[in-house]
Each structure stands twice: as structure tokens, then as C-alpha cells.
């Protein structure tokens, strides 16, 4: 009996765990250990932290792109809205197609025109843009006669306003082809216009209705913006 116990104790003492696993786990089960090792690597805290940082960076990049896109969209919409409001209520641009205002304005000049809302702001000599019912288009001329004025355009080319000769430094060539004087009496709330190029301007002298109502005046020409070598404010 004692020998038997001793033998059992010896066996327990010599039991080797590594040897047991070496003998009982064959190669066909080794992939399980490898899979376990791979799983441990994939779910390790450091790996998850790196992936989390990568996802956050990707999210920030997407968020930044969308944010920038929205900012650009808002800027463009705001610019278009401001441009529309300015063009609607303050300023608009016109193109000069003829020589009727030469030398003040030349063909292909482009101008900024300020909207006209107050009839009291109109002064003799202003260059105005207005709509002609007779021609069904916008025209640009210099206002010569204000409401109530008496205008005489002499055959010599001189212009008299209320009996006084009008000094016109902007007229280079007077129209001396007329054979008689033309006389006009400007009605209330209407205006009389002439082109600076008197020899080549279809204006109040020749219209069926020589006068333009205030409601048809669109604005005052302020500045030449193109060509660049002609940029200047108008007198």
C-alpha cells in the first residue's frame, strides 16, 4: 500500500503541464491558438485607440469640407443677393452704342448709373438715362430744360434757356444745319434733352414728343468704368 501511494505521489510530482499540452494538442488544433492570438491583437486597446483616432480625423476632415462648402455657398448667395439689391435699387450699368454723346461718351463706353428717386436732385447739365416711350428703349442724353423752362435752339447752334445763352463746354461741334430757330416750353414734371454731339444726335429737337416725364427717368450717369483708360467721373 505504501508503495502504491508513493508511486501515485511520484506521478503527481512529475506531472508536467507543458508536456501534457504538447502531447494532447496536435497540430490540427494549433490554428485555434493562432486565431485566438490574432483576435487578441485586433481587439487590443492600442489598436482600438488608433482606429478611434483615425475615425475622428476622418470625421473632422468630412466636417471641415462640409463646413467650408457651406461657407462658400453662403458667401456666393450673399454676393448675388447684394448685387441684385444694388442693381435693383441703387446702381446699374449701361453700354453706349452710338456717338450721340461724343466726346463726353464714346461708343462701347460702359457706365455706372445711380437710380433716380428725387426729382429735386435733377440739375441742368446732368447726363441722365431714361426710357423713351416713342422708341421703346433706354436713351442717354444731357438734360437741358427743366419743368417750366423756355428753350430756344437757334439755327446757329446756340441754346438759350429762359432768354440766356447756355454755356456748353461739353459741346465740341454745334449743329449749324438748321434753317430756323426751334422754340420749346417744358411742361410741368417733364424734361428737355439734347445730345452733346449736336450734329449727330436724335434728341428732343426731333422727337414727336420733345419731353420726357420724370417717371421715365431711370438714373444719372456717374462714372465711366470701361475701357480702363477712360475711367473717370462725369461732370
Q: So which residues are the catalytic ones?
A: 100, 141
Q: From residue 166, how far is each of 6, 101, 154, 186 by CA, in Å? A: 143, 17, 11, 16
Q: From residue 207, how far is each of 128, 129, 132, 194, 212 by CA, in Å? A: 17, 16, 10, 11, 10
Count Cβ neighbours within 10 Å for each residue of 114-125 and write b for 16 or more, e otherwise. bbbeeeeebeee
CA distance 22 to 215: 107
Bond from prior residue into 227 cis (ω within 30 degrees of 0): yes
Amino acid at each position: 500500500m505504501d508503495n502504491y501511494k508513493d508511486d501515485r505521489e511520484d506521478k503527481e510530482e512529475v506531472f508536467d503541464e507543458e508536456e501534457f499540452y504538447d502531447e494532447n494538442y496536435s497540430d490540427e488544433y494549433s490554428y485555434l491558438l493562432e486565431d485566438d492570438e490574432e483576435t487578441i491583437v485586433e481587439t487590443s486597446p492600442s489598436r482600438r485607440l488608433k482606429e478611434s483616432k483615425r475615425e475622428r480625423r476622418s470625421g473632422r476632415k468630412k466636417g471641415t469640407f462640409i463646413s467650408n462648402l457651406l461657407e462658400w455657398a453662403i458667401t456666393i448667395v450673399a454676393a448675388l443677393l447684394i448685387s441684385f439689391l444694388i442693381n435693383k435699387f441703387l446702381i446699374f450699368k449701361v453700354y453706349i452704342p452710338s456717338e450721340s454723346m461724343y466726346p463726353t461718351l464714346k461708343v462701347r463706353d460702359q457706365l455706372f448709373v445711380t437710380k433716380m428717386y428725387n426729382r429735386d436732385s435733377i440739375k441742368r447739365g446732368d447726363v441722365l438715362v431714361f426710357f423713351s416711350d416713342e422708341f421703346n428703349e433706354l436713351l442717354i442724353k444731357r438734360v437741358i430744360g427743366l419743368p417750366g423752362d423756355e428753350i430756344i435752339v437757334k439755327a446757329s447752334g446756340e441754346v438759350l434757356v429762359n432768354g440766356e445763352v447756355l454755356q456748353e463746354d461739353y459741346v465740341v461741334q454745334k449743329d449749324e444745319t438748321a434753317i430756323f430757330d426751334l422754340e420749346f416750353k417744358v411742361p410741368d414734371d417733364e424734361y428737355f434733352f439734347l445730345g452733346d454731339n449736336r450734329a449727330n444726335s436724335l434728341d428732343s429737337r426731333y422727337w414727336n414728343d420733345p419731353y420726357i416725364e420724370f417717371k421715365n427717368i431711370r438714373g444719372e450717369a456717374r462714372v465711366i468704368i470701361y475701357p480702363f483708360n477712360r475711367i473717370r467721373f462725369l461732370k
